[in-house]
Amino acid sequence: MSDFIADYINDFLVNTRLSLRIENYNEFLFLVVLILGVLLCFFGFKLYRIFLSIIIFMSITIEICISLKWDFSGKAVCFVLLGCLASLIVFQFKKLDIYILSGIICAALTAVAMPSIIMIFIMWGIGFLIATIYPEYSLYVLTSIIGGLIIASIYHSVYLLIFLVVMGVAFQYFIDRQEVNR
């Protein structure tokens, strides 16, 4: 999983030509992936909308840079950034994104574990239903799983994954309850 994310960030940096401006490029990529994993694992319930907007921004920018051969300093970045800010505002006013995101994450994890189209749709439905019943708790668990997978795939450790998911869920629950009690 960390390789997939590193490749995605690498595509963004290479296509936008930002990689030419970064010294120690490989160390920078490793550090960015590790920081993303930690943020998702322990603060995912607060930051998931920002991460979704960043992913949309990076994807559209990569596509524009490849298809139109524009540099990062082009006009496209301004329009893409405005579109991502608009998507962030839309995410703030809808609960549906939690349900869809839970379904997508469950489907993606199922696709990695057992690539059967029927099982993928079943798990997407289960993730969607769980999120409709327990929206907050599903966010704690799902963002902790994603962040834990990123970090554990760097170190190739299942025990680290289990530890990070448990600690991430507990930390997110504790932080969220502290804010509710204020």
Give tens-digit pLDDT for 55-99. Answer: 777 777 776 677 666 555 555 555 566 566 666 655 655 556 667
Please enumerate, as own/partner, the contacts of 61-64 that have beta carbons within 8 Å and a separation of 24 or more.
61/12, 61/15, 61/16, 62/11, 62/12, 62/15, 62/16
139 pLDDT higher than 80? no
List Cα–Cα distances, 138 to 29, 101, 160, 172, in angstroms.
29, 10, 21, 11
Find which of 4-8, 80-84, 105-109 is predicted with most confidence, using mean pLDDT: 4-8
Per-residue pLDDT, 103: 73
Q: How many CB atoms lie within 10 A of CB 76?
A: 19
pLDDT at res. 167: 93
Instruction: Say what the pTM is.
Output: 0.65
Q: What is the mean pLDDT of residues 144-160?
A: 82
Q: Which residue has the tokens 């907007």?
A: 53
Greater model confidence, 173 or 85: 173
Confidence at 133, pLDDT banded by 50, 70, 90: confident
Confidence of residue 113 (pLDDT cuts 50, 70, 90): low
> How high is the mean pLDDT of the chain?
75
